[in-house]
Amino acid sequence: MTDPDTSARLLIVGPPGAGKGTQASRIADTYAIPAISTGDIFRENVRSETELGVLAKSFMDRGEYVPDEVTNDLVADRLTWADADGGFLLDGFPRTTAQAAFLDGILDGHGHHLNAVIELVADPDETVQRLLKRASEQGRSDDTEEVIRHRLEVYARQTAPLLDLYEERGLLVQVDGLGAVDEVTERIAAALAAKGVTAA
């Protein structure tokens, strides 16, 4: 059993294009925890053409969320892996209040709790530009301008409200996502330290 006081059970939340994935892998290294990205897991499944991938693609390509039941099962399974015993950073989950309640249930069931929720704050105009640039480099099928705008709307409607929930619990740390990647990483580390989450 890991001492709950030294574990890092973290979320990173922010609009599409805020740089969550980039920061998530850095945080994972620093705190020696796995970065678990539901978007990455879905994309892997799309690439390998699994049943889950075919289903997820139909939502992702439209900029819609994959249904909660599907996403919840996926995360519940991933959190049983041994590497997540001492902590984890979830990137892109929860994205709806139902997903947040589901995650609470999983953690409660193990006597665990979240240590901090990182909100990566970024201006929508800037994030659209970043995503369009990524589209031209990586060709992600959900990175067309129309789908990007829709993803931002879905984020504002379905995911932004979760931040209030975590703020009320005293877990939210807001970090400016603009600036050099290293600077943003340093801001996150400082904000986490203020919540008592320190590097491994």
Listed residue (2, 77, 84) closest to 35, CA to CA: 84
Select from 8, 9, 42, 102 the one that contacts ligand ADP (CB under 6 A). 42
Contacts of ligand ADP in 44-63 (CB under 6 A): 59-60, 63
Tell me the window of 36-44, 76-84, 112-120, 163-171 that interacts with ligand ADP (CB under 6 A).
Answer: 36-44
Question: How many chain residues bind ligand ADP (CB under 6 A)?
Answer: 18
102 binds ligand ADP (CB under 6 A): no
Tell me the window of 27-35, 37-45, 104-112, 181-189 that interacts with ligand ADP (CB under 6 A).
Answer: 37-45
Joined tokens for residue 42: 């879905």
Place of tokens 């892996």: 81
Q: Shortest approach of ligand ADP to residue 188 CB, angstroms?
A: 17
Select from 19, 86, 92, 177 the one that contacts ligand ADP (CB under 6 A). 92
Q: Shortest approach of ligand ADP to residue 193 CB, angstroms?
A: 26
**Strand order across the beta sheet in which 87-91 lies:** 35-37, 87-91, 8-13, 116-121, 172-176
- Torsion angle, CA of 13/118/28/199, rounded to 10 degrees? 180
Q: Are 14 and 50 in contact (CB under 8 A)?
A: no
Q: For the packed helices 68-78 and 97-109, what is the interaxial angle rounded to 10 degrees?
A: 30
65 binds ligand ADP (CB under 6 A): yes
Q: Are 9 and 87 in contact (CB under 8 A)?
A: yes
Q: Shortest approach of ligand ADP to residue 6 CB, angstroms?
A: 27
β-bridge partners, 175:
120
Residues near ligand ADP (CB under 6 A): 16-17, 38-39, 42, 59-60, 63-66, 71, 92-93, 95, 99, 142, 151
